[in-house]
Amino acid sequence: MNRILVANWKMNGSIDQFSTYLTDLQNGYSFKNIDLIIAPPFPYINIVKNKIVNKNIFIAGQTMNYLPDGAKTGEVNARMLKDVGSDYVIIGHSECRENRSFDDIDASKTVLSALEKKLKVIFCIGEKKTDSMSNEIIIEQLVCALEGIDKKYSEFIIVAYEPVWSIGTGVTPTPEQVLQKRQIIYATLYNLGFLKTQIIYGGSVTVQNAGSFINNAQIDGFIVGKACMHAGNIIEMLNIL
């Protein structure tokens, strides 16, 4: 399976910035065995999609609501994300769990709704602080979201392990700690029957530390926030992958 790099732009960017970024990125883009997934803010999804010429570059929505069309001001659902050209959607990012009161029950409904509309899912899990409960927390997040989901969807889900304390802080776990969590996630997925689900890491990934995670933590790729906003960083990370 291809390695994965998710570039999560969060609430950043403009039409001009995305234009330059995609031109820089696609000039001489020669990565065949890596899927680059760009997650722009909603208003830019279609603009970004129309500028992509490389078949290994995909688009993700940053979140979605599981409800069908209706009176939900400010929300978007899977049908709409698909309509504007998204291939993936990020579900359960800690910033959404925090700001949009998204919980584990919503996770399962949202994952199912995305998959049924043929959106692939990047499902984020991670503990808030480094304490003895951290393993239980990530197992529970996974089980709640995936228990009711048909195993046939296994290959259409990517699990992103993102310790909340590491997102945007510049503080990261060691590759050995990520490896330990990766093994727990793998075992949980195995028990749930999700054998083709890939596991990536996110939280203050940089060009400097990416190599050490790839070499020592057995992960399939990264989800990157801050460092993804420069095309040069993305190219370097793709080289590392």
Catalytic residues: 93, 162
CA 66/CA 134 separation, integer angstroms = 27
Among 144, 224, 231, 238, contact with ligand PGA (rule: CB under 6 A)? 224
CA 111/CA 89 separation, integer angstroms = 9
The window from 108-116, 180-188, 208-216, 217-225 that contacts ligand PGA (CB under 6 A) reads 217-225
CA 222/CA 191 separation, integer angstroms = 24
Site string for ligand PGA, 131-170 (x = CB under 6 A): -------------------------------x----xx--
Please classify residue 73 by burial: count the beta carbons closer than 10 Å to its beta carbon, then call 0-12 exposed, 13-18 middle and 19+ buried: exposed
If you search the block for the tokens 């392990």, which residue do you land on? Answer: 161
Among 40, 61, 163, 203, contact with ligand PGA (rule: CB under 6 A)? 203
| Amino acid, res. 45 | I
Residue 173 within binding range of ligand PGA, rule CB under 6 A = no
CB 151, min distance to ligand PGA, A: 27
Among 61, 163, 202, 221, contact with ligand PGA (rule: CB under 6 A)? 202
CB 188, min distance to ligand PGA, A: 21
Among 25, 108, 225, 237, contact with ligand PGA (rule: CB under 6 A)? 225
SS3 235: helix
Instruction: Mention every residue, 6+ apart, whose C-beta is less than 8 A from residue 86.
Output: 45, 49, 59, 60, 61, 119
Using an 8 Å Cβ cutoff, are 88 and 66 in contact? no
CB 69, min distance to ligand PGA, A: 28
Can you read off the two tokens belonging to residue 187?
């075992």
CB 202, min distance to ligand PGA, A: 4
Nearest partner of 155 among 194, 202, 184, judged by Cα = 194
Residue 86 within binding range of ligand PGA, rule CB under 6 A = no
Report the residue closest to ligand PGA, judged by CB: 225
The window from 55-63, 147-155, 185-193, 201-209 that contacts ligand PGA (CB under 6 A) reads 201-209
- Contact residues toward ligand PGA (CB under 6 A) are 8, 162, 167-168, 202-205, 223-227
